[in-house]
Structure 1
Amino acid sequence: MAEARHRKWHVFQTKDELSVAMAKYTAHLSAKFCKEKGLFTVVLSGGGLIDWLCKLLEPPYKDSIEWSKWHVFWVDERVCAYEDPDSNYKLAMDGFLSKVGIPNKNIYAIDKHYAADGNAEHCAALYEECLRNLVKQNILPLCPNGKYPQFDLQLLGMGPDGHMASLFPGHPQINVKDKWVTHITDSPKLPPRRITFTLPVINSASYNLMAVCDDHTEQCPRSIADIFKHNNLALPASHLTAHVENMWYLDKAAASLL
């Protein structure tokens, strides 16, 4: 394991090794928080994350994790119908969530009707309202400063351009501090309408795990080098911190310029 400023990072030879490590990390924190407070709040993202999480569907994890105590959220979501192939909800349900025993009431998707209508602003407002209600129900605690919800673990990914969640370089959403959830209607990555946690919410998590695998692009290793060597704050992923631990898992290709 290496460290760069406030980041801890591991480099894995293959995506499969990264996936094995991610399963171990997630299962460990699930056991820790279920023991300490009786539940585990975990935030998912899109991209390749669900494929990498599939090791949790294998022994020893599938039958040992206390799935009924999981509460599942999304760090960002494409504003589209649940059945749309672009939906992060569909991706997670089809590839992972439908195969484990997480109660449906513990899976917090964006509003179905406004999503189908493409109303990003309303979807963001309703998702924030959902989070605030869960704070009132003692499902979600607030972070020490009392301003933002504190999730146990967020499982994140970074785009080749250095974006995370739906916080993109050169877009104003990275600067939003007065909301928990904001929206974007001109995402440079399709589809254009999305909701996303704001940066203060992302950075209030107890544990953040950023997983990056290079899909044979030149841009991704350059972005990783810009973040780790130069702390290039023009890249949203450079701003990632966490209350307890900010961990990066990189495959060999993504880390090739470090």
Structure 2
Amino acid sequence: MASSPLQLSTPLRTLFLSPSLGRLPRIPFQASLFWQRVTPKTLVFSTGIRGVSGPGRFCSRAKASMAGTTTEKGKGKVEVFASEEDLSVSLAKYTADLADKLSKEKSTFTVVLSGGSLIKSLRKLVEPPYIDSVDWSAWQVFWVDERVVPKDHDDSNYKLAFDGFLSKVPILPGNVYSINDALSAEGAADDYETCLKHLVNSGVISVSAATGLPKFDLMLLGMGPDGHVASLFPGHPLVRENEKWVTFIKDSPKPPPERITFTFPVINSSAHIALVVCGAGKAGPVHAALGNGRNSEPLPVQMVSPEGEMVWFLDKDAASKL
């Protein structure tokens, strides 16, 4: 899909060209074309490019497991797996299937990542058959939330994703949209929203016909033990924000305190949401969201309700109270 070039703001363009970016690890360039013959149960993917990677652009420009038990709930499909390993295998196939379908339809695949254990659960995507069969050149990568820290800081969701996923797959570095960590929390949130608007206007990100908001192809969400998603925490006023696409928080109950986050209107405009939850410590919020109980104030995870498809990927411990 052709698109008009994105115009960078001066501070972001300056930061993108800064020599300080050189401190991040680089991935060797390797170009290849491939075609893989596979069994009927395995996806066939088209040609792809094994290419460069690196710190990406600032957003201003940066075999399936059958062990799962699937049920249909009012809030989407629920898949429960005997182990986190089985969950990871199924999540990789789900993501690869979706990427293959959508990238063939419209030449791009917009993916939103979160932090926490989600990146670990994506690890099967960096292994065969997916590493050499997914059309990684179609991927456009974003973050549902980010900590306002340098990109090489241990608290950075970018660093987490880079170390565990992005550095291992040939996604084009210009298709990775990270925040401008040289700005304040408020400035970084405004800048990221401006970036999204540019990409919507240029056709890289689709638009929801229902809301007029950006419609990401796949949002990969985790959940905290308190039921928070993104950086939207229980009882915090930001869970009710309905004007901004991207907002900021300076008093996060979980450190570090300064973060940016997508708001629920944008999250819920997604075409597909995969909510990935592992561990017995998260069984309570899972039950609150999917069980029959009622609570006076919904947890943030209960407010995730996309206009498209939602699939819960749970290990047996996270589902133990259902």
TM-score, normalisation: structure 2: 0.76
State the aligned residue count: 251
Check conservation: 1:33, 1:40, Cα contact below 8 A. Answer: yes
Partner of 1:251: 315
Check conservation: 1:82, 1:112, Cα contact below 8 A. Answer: yes
Instruction: Name the % identity.
Output: 52
Q: 2:306 aligns with which of 234, 238, 242?
A: 242
**Which of the two has higher C-alpha Rg?**
2
1:70 corresponds to 2:132: no
Partner of 1:101: 170
1:84 corresponds to 2:146: no
Check conservation: 2:148, 2:181, Cα contact below 8 A. Answer: no
Partner of 1:121: 186
Partner of 2:254: 189
Deviations 1:2-61 (A, max 9, x none): 122132101101000000011000000100111100010000000011111110011110
Q: Which runs of 5+ in 2 are unaligned?
A: 1-69
Per-residue deviation at 1:231? 5.5
Q: 1:228 aligns with which of 286, 290, 301?
A: 290
Q: Indicate the SS of the match to 1:234.
A: coil
Q: Which runs of 5+ in 1 are unaligned?
A: none
Q: Indicate the SS of the match to 1:61.
A: coil
Q: Indicate the SS of the match to 1:113.
A: coil
Q: Indicate the SS of the match to 1:112.
A: coil
TM-score, normalisation: structure 1: 0.95
Counterparts in 2 of 1:146 and 1:255: CA distance versus 1, 3 Å: closer
Q: Indicate the SS of the match to 1:130.
A: helix
CA distance in 1, matches of 2:99, 2:266: 20
1:45 corresponds to 2:109: no
Partner of 2:241: 176
Deviations 1:54-88 (A, max 9, x none): 10011110000000110000000001000100000
Per-residue deviation at 1:243? 2.3
Check conservation: 2:78, 2:314, Cα contact below 8 A. Answer: yes
Q: What value does the CA root-mean-square deviation take over the aligned residues? A: 1.1
1:20 corresponds to 2:82: no
Which ranges of 4 or more aligned residues in structure 1 deviate by more than 4 Å?
none
CA distance in 2, matches of 1:70, 1:30: 8
CA distance in 2, matches of 1:95, 1:31: 22
Q: Indicate the SS of the match to 2:207.
A: coil
Partner of 1:54: 123
Check conservation: 1:231, 1:238, Cα contact below 8 A. Answer: no
CA distance in 1, matches of 2:130, 2:124: 8
CA distance in 2, matches of 1:179, 1:81: 24
CA distance in 1, matches of 2:211, 2:267: 14
Per-residue deviation at 1:242? 1.7
Instruction: Give the letter aligned to residue 205 of structure 1.
Output: S
Mean Cα deviation higher: 202-211 or 145-154 = 145-154
Q: Indicate the SS of the match to 2:215.
A: coil
Greater RCO (Cα-Cα under 8 Å, separation 6 or more): 1
Q: Indicate the SS of the match to 2:79.
A: strand
CA distance in 2, matches of 1:136, 1:202: 19
Per-residue deviation at 1:145? 2.6
Instruction: Give the letter aligned to residue 63 of structure 1.
Output: D
Instruction: Give the letter aligned to residue 156 of structure 1.
Output: L
Partner of 1:199: 264
Mean Cα deviation higher: 241-250 or 83-92 = 241-250
